[in-house]
Amino acid sequence: MPDYDYDVTDDERELAGLVRQFADEVVAPRSYEADRTHTLPLDVVAQMGELGLFGLPFPEEYGGQGGDYFALCLAIEALGRVDQSLAITLEAGVSLGAMPVFRFGTEEQKQELLPPLLAGEALAGFGLTEPEAGSDAGATRTTARLDAGEWVINGSKQFITNSGTDITRFVTVTAVTGEADGRKEISTIVVPNGTAGFTVEPAYDKVGWHASDTHPLTFQDVRVPEGNLLGERGRGFANFLHILDEGRIAIAALSTGAAEGCLEAAVDYACKRTVFGEPLATRQGIQFLLARMQQRVHVARLAWHHAARLRDAGKPFKTQAAIAKLTASDAAMDNARDATQVFGGNGFMNEYPVARHYRDSKILEIGEGTSEVQLLVIARALGVA
């Protein structure tokens, strides 16, 4: 177990230990086969729901656990240590699926949509990214117009997590709903899966996160009720930016888990692998490499802990979230590379977790805001951008 003494309560430590045990006993033994077959194990997702992981940061009145974002991130870190695909399924299911409804939905929408999401019985996606609109989400081309009390949606989205599983209920879509002061008015609209004209295209053949569900989406004259507007009209992009700030903390936690998983595997292998009659770990070069890996894990954990505590205290956390994501995603990528080097040829074989972490970790520097976007956020906070 990591050294959590510096800022974690007994209840939080117990939660982290519970999820870590679940990850070791249930998730890890299935990870290689799920990765090899590009299959999200929905039975494991259901068990995550039974543990209450999808409901951790939500009030009990909607079926949540009454916890906070810090608790969610502890769970994501514990899962990310052994399987990034399952960790991102949880992260996206909460941050991008349920959280927008909780933050901006009407009471009726919350009562209808949240309970199955928080129980892990259903998943939802968030359709923001488009072929021409990623970091520049203001370039959104998907449109929605009102006609006879319904939104008529046309456009496409890409890289949408949890959008095509057998238990996906809906996606929340950003769309241009008009203009205000010469600028695009962007709103968010809930589109149930199975709606006529809404097509979940075939899954991507990705470099990593093979067991995570990710699809492009197309919308051709998709009609949904006017009441499916989520939040105030014209506030869709602004609202999503707040959701994205929270999500960056969760990605930092996932990255920290991945970095720690690589460290643990590298230490174990270095102690067992014999080279020229001695354990690999007796070589000073390997010792220093492992020490650097430990340094990265520790700093990454401190960074996301700080950002999460600020968020839960209701204090500004945007810059700290960017710092945490930048620091932790770098740590995951660097530790994956170094762990693969320690494993040598075995590190290039997919059945070894370090090989999967090596493939998986690159997206951590891209998703929910690239490293360059994080640098821009930090620079703006310094007043120089």
The number of residues in the chain equals 385
Q: How far apart are CA 58 and CA 54, in angstroms?
A: 9
Find the catalytic residue in 61, 264, 368, 372: 368
Range 362-384 burial, b when 16+ CB lie within 10 A, else e: bbbbebbbbbebbeebbeeeeee
* Contacting residues for 309 by C-beta, under 8 A, at least 6 apart: 7, 70
Query: How many CA atoms within 13 Å lie on the side-chain side of 128?
Result: 22
Residue type, 362: K
* Contacting residues for 366 by C-beta, under 8 A, at least 6 apart: none
Cβ atoms within 10 A of the Cβ of 212, count? 27
Q: How far apart are CA 56 and CA 60, in angstroms?
A: 9
**One-character DSSP codes across 69-102:** HHHHHHHHHHHHTT-HHHHHHHHHIIIIIIHHHH
First to last CA, the chain: 40
- Give the 3-state secondary structure of 245-297: HHHHHHHHHHHHHHHHHHHHHHHHHHHHCEECCEEHHHCHHHHHHHHHHHHHH
Q: At what angle do helices 42-50 and 84-92 cross, to 10 degrees?
A: 60
User: Radius of gyration over alpha carbons of the chain, in Å?
Assistant: 21
DSSP class of residue 359 equals H
Phi-psi region of 326 (alpha: psi -120 to 50; beta: other; left: phi over 0): alpha
- Give the 3-state secondary structure of 14-51: HHHHHHHHHHHHHHHHHHHHHHHHCCCCHHHHHHHHHC
Specify whether 368 is catalytic: yes
CA angle at 162 for the pair 160 and 163, rounded to the nearest 5°: 60
So which residues are the catalytic ones?
Answer: 368
